[in-house]
Amino acid sequence: MRRIAGIAAAMLIAFLVLVPVAIAAQPANETGRVLISVRGDIDLPAGQQADTVLVVDGSATIEGTATSVVVINGSAVFTGAQVETIVAVRSPIKLAAGTVVSGDVKTLDSTVSQAGGATVEGTVSDIAPTLAALGFFLAPAFILLWIGFAVATIAAGLLVAGLASRQVRSAETVMRHEPLRSFGIGLVGVIGIPIAAILLMVTVVGAPLGLGVMFVLWPFIAFLGYIVAAVWIGDRLLGEAGPTARRERPYAAVAIGVIGLQVLGIVPILGLLAALATMLGMGAVIILSWRTLVTRPAGPQPFVAAPAPMAS
């Protein structure tokens, strides 16, 4: 898992570096050919051309012409090659004689060995300072985004708590007294609802219904489950776990619970707990909705006329 995460992060880094290069590149020699290899090797023989060569967990042997070459957790050897840009992440690069790099060689935790007959017309630079500066500017933006999302969620949760407090309390009761059933139904809802929506979207007649289920109904149920889980967590943090101590409209519980779930979501491992709580709440919402739909309301009582008084 750590290896996969490292590869994904390295690919993201390479993408951030490669996109500006691709935008600035001249389109005169573009061929549209892209070579990608994951846990394998790539050879670009002399006389052949490619726009992009991407190697992850493998080695690349470049003898032809390429616009951009990206190597992640691997290695690359350039022999008599014509390349515009090279991006290396945790990968040693060897520039043999006759190789011409018309642009830059950008590295991250990588080494570059250049033979006497190899030419780099641009620069060989480490992108770590650039990434650090990028993180310095992006970190406040992500913090503000997180705060804005939390405030919006709290506001929506307060609205739900005010308009449907009885239903929220009922779903919380289901979640508290039937946790296993709520988890099972929530798991089925997380997996089954998207599958059903996709199956509906395959057909022409069911496509509108499938789109509605996927992008309206499913997110709505998940959001309600999130609010129910937040109320459940908030009650416990406030010491209002008992039915007699709980307030009718759980405004404070929603606010505190949403903040708690948001904080848990920041940490990857603890984020699983937040996802589990949301799944429990989603299952409770589905159970309560089903019981509400199938329960028959009590009909009007039959009118029984009072007996007439007996004549004396």
pLDDT band for position 15 (cuts 50, 70, 90): low
Question: For residue 141, is it left (φ>0), alpha (ψ between -120 and 50) or beta?
Answer: alpha
Counting residues of the chain whose pLDDT is more than 70, the rounded percentage is 82
Question: Does position 312 have pLDDT exceeding 60, yes or no?
Answer: no
- Cα 94 to Cα 34, 62, 80, 230, 300: the distances in Å are 22, 10, 11, 55, 87
pLDDT band for position 28 (cuts 50, 70, 90): very low
Q: Quote the pLDDT of residue 224.
A: 93
Q: Residue range 138-161: average pLDDT?
A: 89
Q: Quote the pLDDT of residue 130.
A: 79
Whole-model pTM over 0.85:
no
pLDDT in tens, 177-232: 999 999 999 999 999 999 999 998 888 888 899 999 999 999 999 999 999 999 99
Q: Residue range 127-151: average pLDDT?
A: 84
Q: Residue range 281-287: average pLDDT?
A: 94
Counting residues of the chain whose pLDDT is more than 90, the rounded percentage is 50
Q: Quote the pLDDT of residue 140.
A: 87
pLDDT band for position 42 (cuts 50, 70, 90): very high
Q: Quote the pLDDT of residue 23.
A: 45
pLDDT in tens, 244-262: 556 678 899 999 999 999 8
CA angle 215, 221, 224 (to 5 degrees): 130
Q: Quote the pLDDT of residue 30.
A: 56
What count of Cα atoms within 13 Å lies in the side-chain half-sphere of residue 82?
9
What mean pLDDT is reported for the chain?
83
Question: Does position 18 have pLDDT exceeding 80, yes or no?
Answer: no
Distance between CA 161 and CA 138 in Å, rounded? 34
Distance between CA 195 and CA 179 in Å, rounded? 24
Count Cβ atoms within 10 A of the Cβ of residue 63 and give its class: 0-12 exposed, 13-18 middle, 19 or more buried.
Answer: buried
Nearest to 61 by CA among 49, 46, 76, 71: 76
Q: Quote the pLDDT of residue 25.
A: 47
Distance between CA 126 and CA 131 in Å, rounded? 10
- Region of poorest pLDDT, from 5-9, 106-110, 137-141, 144-148: 5-9
Q: Quote the pLDDT of residue 16.
A: 52
Distance between CA 34 and CA 102 in Å, rounded? 19
Question: Does position 239 have pLDDT exceeding 90, yes or no?
Answer: no
Distance between CA 234 and CA 243 in Å, rounded? 14
Q: Residue 24 is which amino acid?
A: A
- Cα 101 to Cα 69, 127, 290: the distances in Å are 11, 18, 66
Q: Residue range 26-31: average pLDDT?
A: 51
